[in-house]
Amino acid sequence: MKNKIKWIKVLDDASELHENRVMTVTANHTDICLSRFEGEVCALDNKCPHQGGPLGEGSIENGLLRCPWHGWDYHPCTGKAPGFDDGVETVKVKTENNKVYVAMETEEQHETTVSDIMVETMVNMGINTVFGMVGHSNLGLADAFRRREEQGNLRYFAIRHEGAAAFAASAYGKLTGKPAACFAIAGPGSTNMYTGMWDANVDRAPMLALTGQVATQVVGTGNFQEVDLVQAFNTVAGFNHRVQHNSRHTELMTLAIKHALLNRTVSHLTFPDEVQVLPAGEEKAQTAENRIASLKISPPEAALQKAEKMLLESKRPVIIVGHGARFSMENIIRLAEILKAPILTTFKAKGQIPDSHPLAGGVLGRSGTPVASWLMNESDLLLVLGASFSNHTGITDKKPLIQVDTDPLTLAKFHAVDAQVLGDVAVTVEKFRKDLNKKTKTENQSVDVASRWKIWRAEKAKRLKEYHGNGLGAIHVFAALNKLAPDNAVMTVDVGNNAYSFGRYYESKNNTFLMSGYLGSIGFALPAALGAWAAVGNERPVIAVAGDGGIAQYLAEITTLVKYQMNVKVILLNNNELGKISKEQRSGHFEVWKTQLTNPDFAAFANSCGALGLKADRPENLMKKMEELFAHDGPALLEIKTDVSLL
C-alpha cells in the first residue's frame, strides 16, 4: 500500500525566492532544493547523487544548477544533467496565495533501531543522564536519545566542549556512585573527552563513554575524522568495544554498564555511522533484573579478628577515611564514637564528616590542617578506610595500620600493612562496631580535637588580618564562604593554590566535595558543577570554586548553566597568575616564567552569557557581594581579586 501524498508548506512568501536563486527548505524531515528559474518555482531532491552535496546551497549559472561540492550541473526544474544519463529526482511543487507547497509522501512509522534498543537498555539499567555534543557521525544515536528524552526518562545536556561532558560525567559518578554518559562524534570530539575519562578512571568513578564513528566501509582508509577509538581508549577504558552489525547489541550495552558499576571504571562503546540506524529486528532491550551483583561483601574472619584485636589493644586509635568510604560514613561515625577516635579525611574525602563534629579532625596532608597531622602523629593505631596512601595525603607507615578496602590490589599497595581487611567498608565497620561495643579501653580524644581546633582557629584569625591592598587573601575568601555557604552545598573544586587554600581554610558542614583527585586536572570545577547539578538538581545548592587559570579552560560552559538554568554559584579567585606553578618554580630554584595571565573581565563575561556577574576586590565589599551571589535565583559568578602572596 502506497503512502498518501500530502502538500506541505515550505515557504510563507514566494516572493522571497528571487529569479535564478536557490534555497534549502524542509518538508517533514526531508530537505528540498527550491529554486526559481525562468519565472517558475521548481523543487528537487536536495542531495546531489554523486557525493550527497546540498544542492540548495548551490547556484544557477548559465541556466544550470551547479552542485556546491564538485560543480556538477543539473537543470533547475527537470533535474537532468545535460550530456549525461544521471540526474536528480524532482519534487512536485505548487504556489497558492503566494505560499509555496511541496508534495510529500506521509512518513512511515519509525522502525526501532539498534540505537533505540541500546539506549533503552541503558535507561533500564539506571543511566538516564547524558552530557554531549551532537554531530554528523553520531546522529542515529542522538536521535535515539531524543526519543527517550521526549518520553521523559532521559535527560540530555548539550555542552560546549566534549571535555566538559567527560568531566561532568566523572563528577556525576563521584557524587552518586552511578554512571552518567558522555557523548561525542568520531575523531576530535571523542579525543576531547580523553582527559575527563582519565579523571574518572584514576578516581574510580563509574562512567559510560559513547562515541560516534565513521562508517565501517571506510575504516582504515584515512577517512575524514577517522580515529581508531577502540585503540585510542584502550588504556583508559576498562571495557572498550566497537558496536558491530552482528553484535549482541543489548548484551553489549549491559556488559558495558556492569563493568562501569562493579569495577568502578570507564566503559566505552563506539558506534559506526551505519550501525546506529540498523533495524533492531527481534532483539529487545534488557533490564537490570538479576544482572547486577551486590558488592556488600563481608571480610574474611581471620582478617577481621586480627584487626579487632589491634583495636582492642589500642589507646589512641585514629580513623582515616578516603573517598572510597563516602557511602559508609554513618557506620564509621558510630564506630568512631565507640572508639572515641578522631576521624581524619583525605582531601578527596573532605566533608564526609562535618568539621563541627566533636571527633572531626579535618583534612590530612598537603591540602590539610595542622589539626589532622597532630592527631595522626599522637596516635598509636591508624584505621584506614577507603583510602589509598597517596603522597598527597601523607598517611604515615610508621604506625600500626589496619586497612579496609573492596579492592585487593589497593590493600598494602605501597608498603606492608599490619592488618589487611578485604570487604565492603560499611559491612566491615558495622562488624567492628558490634564486636567492639563496650569492650574498648581507648582514651577520649575529643578533648584533644577541640584543643587543636582552637589553636588552628586562632592562627586563622591572625592570618585574616593580613591585607596588602593588592587583592584579598585566600583566607578572606574562605572565611566569608564559611559564614555564607549553604550547609548542604555540593562544592566542586579546581586545582592550584585555590584548592590548597580551600582544603586548609574552609570548615565543612554537611557539604560534599568533588575534585580531580589523582589526575589533578586543571579546569575541573566548572564542568564538574554541571554534573553535580544534574545529579542533585535544586535539592542541594551547587558551588564551584576555581582559579582564573582553571576556569578559563571551560569558560564557555557558563552558557550551559544559563541554557538549563542550573542554579550554580561560581566563586572565582583571580590573581592573574598560575600561582601554584610560580610557587613550584621558586621552590625548585627556577626563574618564575610564563605564569602571568591576561584575563577577561570574568564578571562581565558571565553577564554577557545571561548569568549574574559580580566583583569583589576588598575585605569590606566581599561579604556583601557574596551575599548577593547566594541570594540570586539562577547561575551566578563572583570574581574576587586575590593576592597571590596571601595563601
pLDDT digits (tens, 9 = 90+) for 151-181: 999 999 999 999 999 999 999 999 999 999 9
Q: Is the pLDDT of residue 257 over 50?
A: yes
Beta strands 401-405; 21-27: pairing state: unpaired
- Indicate the SS3 state at residue 367: coil
Q: What angle do CA 525, 529, 531 make, to 5 degrees?
A: 120
Task: Return the residue matching grid coordinates 579552560.
Answer: 553
Q: Is the pLDDT of residue 3 over 70?
A: no
CA atoms within a 13 Å half-sphere pointing along the CA-CB vector of 47: 6
If you average pLDDT over residues 333-348, what whole number do you get? 95
CB contact at 8 A, 65 and 75: yes
pLDDT greater at residue 343 or residue 293: 343
Phi-psi region of 575 (alpha: psi -120 to 50; beta: other; left: phi over 0): alpha
Share of the chain above pLDDT 70, in %: 100
If you average pLDDT over residues 191-215, what whole number do you get? 96
How far is residue 141 CA from its own chain's centroid? 20
Q: Is the pLDDT of residue 321 over 90?
A: yes
Rounded CA-CA distance 529/535 in Å is 10
Least confident of 2-6, 54-58, 509-513, 590-594: 2-6
Least confident of 25-34, 118-127, 387-396: 387-396
pLDDT score of 260: 97
C-alpha cell at 321: 577515611
Rounded CA-CA distance 642/183 in Å is 37
C-alpha cell at 501: 587554600
C-alpha cell at 410: 589497593
C-alpha cell at 451: 584543643
pLDDT greater at residue 523 or residue 215: 523
The mean of the pLDDT values for the chain is 94
Record the pTM: 0.92
Q: Where are the beta strands (DSSP E) in 448-598?
A: 490-493, 512-515, 542-547, 568-574
Q: How confident is the model at residue 1 (pLDDT cuts 50, 70, 90)?
A: very low
Rounded CA-CA distance 231/191 in Å is 12
Q: 623: closest CA among 636, 607, 609, 640?
A: 640
How far is residue 219 CA from its own chain's centroid? 29
* Residue pLDDT, tens place only, 261-284: 999 999 999 999 999 999 999 999
C-alpha cell at 335: 564506630
Rounded CA-CA distance 125/208 in Å is 12
Q: What angle do CA 271, 273, 274 make, to 5 degrees?
A: 110
Rounded CA-CA distance 439/336 in Å is 14
Rounded CA-CA distance 211/585 in Å is 39
**235 phi and psi angles, rounded to 5 deg:** -85, -20
For residues 539-574, one letter each, b for 16 or more C-beta atoms within 10 angstroms of the residue's C-beta and e for the rest, the string is ebbbbbbbbbbbbbbbbebbbbbebbebbbbbbbbb
C-alpha cell at 151: 518520553
Rounded CA-CA distance 371/308 in Å is 26
Rounded CA-CA distance 467/480 in Å is 15
- Indicate the SS3 state at residue 346: coil
How far is residue 607 CA from its own chain's centroid? 24
Question: What DSSP designation does 225 have?
Answer: T
Please report the domains of the chain, with CATH numbers, ordered by start residue: 5-105 (2.102.10.10), 114-277 (3.40.50.970), 301-448 (3.40.50.1220), 466-641 (3.40.50.970)
C-alpha cell at 561: 548553566
576 CB-contact burial (10 Å; exposed 0-12 / middle 13-18 / buried 19+): middle
Rounded CA-CA distance 240/260 in Å is 11
Rounded CA-CA distance 154/143 in Å is 12
Rounded CA-CA distance 289/124 in Å is 9
If you average pLDDT over residues 45-57, what whole number do you get? 92
263 CB-contact burial (10 Å; exposed 0-12 / middle 13-18 / buried 19+): middle
- Indicate the SS3 state at residue 146: helix
Rounded CA-CA distance 357/499 in Å is 23
- Indicate the SS3 state at residue 395: coil
CB contact at 8 A, 300 and 313: no
Rounded CA-CA distance 590/588 in Å is 6
| Residue type, position 235, single letter | T
Rounded CA-CA distance 339/439 in Å is 9
For residues 598-620, one letter each, b for 16 or more C-beta atoms within 10 angstroms of the residue's C-beta and e for the rest, the string is ebeebbebbbebebbbbbbbeee
Rounded CA-CA distance 475/372 in Å is 19
Q: Is the pLDDT of residue 340 over 90?
A: yes
C-alpha cell at 58: 548551490
C-alpha cell at 344: 581524619
Q: Is the pLDDT of residue 2 over 80?
A: no
* Residue pLDDT, tens place only, 569-628: 999 999 999 988 999 999 999 999 999 999 999 999 999 999 999 999 998 899 999 999
Q: Is the pLDDT of residue 101 over 70?
A: yes
CB contact at 8 A, 335 and 356: no
Sheet containing 5-11: which strands, arranged edge to edge?
A: 5-11, 99-105, 93-96
